[in-house]
Amino acid sequence: MEWMQGGWTGAMAIAQASLLDDQALVQAARAGDETAFAELFRRYYGPVYRLAFKLAGSAEEAEDLAQEVFIRLYQRPPALADGESVQPWLYRVTANLGLNAIRGRRRHHDRLLRWFRLEWPLNRGAAARELEQREASELARELLAALPERDRAILVMRHSGLSYEEIASALGVQPSSVGTLLARAERRVRDRYRALYPAGTEEH
């Protein structure tokens, strides 16, 4: 893509663009100023690529994910408040695209299930027989799909090895809040699991 090669010029001088905050740049990009968009790309491609690499596990897939994130920014830029950074939005989009990218990989979902600390309802009647016939990835996909977007993103980011500080930056919250948000997301997953397989939550 031409904008990835740094070849764009626009009404806004590059030097001026580098001095503007994200809200002003996104507003200018929405109005068609390609230099503003190029400045956003310059600022955030590195962080987006690093997150995408943690999610995807390969340079090629990370590049594809990062490119798709910026395509979405170009096509549908978010509305930002004065002084607000676009980085949390970029991270959330990256996390959700990364989740889509790993959905077909059983090893990722097995790790997610272990991380959720879910109990498999083995040897417990019809529910057990049904669950034994299903792939772990299918269950993980179903559980994650039922979550709100932010809960899904925070679980994927934590599962992919991001620190509390990185997750906080992605979500636009304080690092001290991440533990509470993670616990809430985990609880929602377990509640959904118990609703699907109540026999699996009984004590031996």
| Long-range own/partner contacts, residues 69-76 (CB < 8 A, 24 or more apart) | 69/93, 69/94, 69/97, 70/4, 70/41, 70/45, 73/29, 73/37, 73/40, 74/3, 74/29, 74/37
Give the pLDDT mean for 73-91: 89
Query: How confident is the model at residue 12, as a pLDDT?
Result: 46
Q: What is the C-alpha to C-alpha distance for residues 162 and 154, in angstroms, rounded to an integer?
A: 9
Q: Same domain for 52 and 125?
A: no
Which pTM was predicted? 0.61
Task: Clarify whether residues 108 and 59 are in a common domain.
Answer: no
Averaged pLDDT, 119-146: 58
Is residue 2 in some structural domain? no
Residue 45 · residue 62 · CB < 8 Å: no
Mean pLDDT of 47-59: 85
Q: 45: domain range?
A: 10-85
Query: Which one is predicted more confidently, 152 or 111?
Result: 152
Q: Which residue has the higher pLDDT, 21 or 123?
A: 21
65 shares its domain with 126: no
Asked whether residue 22 is domain-assigned, the answer is: yes
pLDDT tens for residues 170-181? 777 899 999 999
Q: Are residues 123 and 164 in the same domain?
A: yes
* Residues 48 and 132 grouped into a single domain: no
pLDDT of residue 111: 56
Q: What is the CATH number of the domain that holds 110?
A: 1.10.10.10
Percentage of the chain modeled with pLDDT above 70: 67
Total count of domains within the chain: 2
Verify that 80 and 119 share a domain, yes or no. no
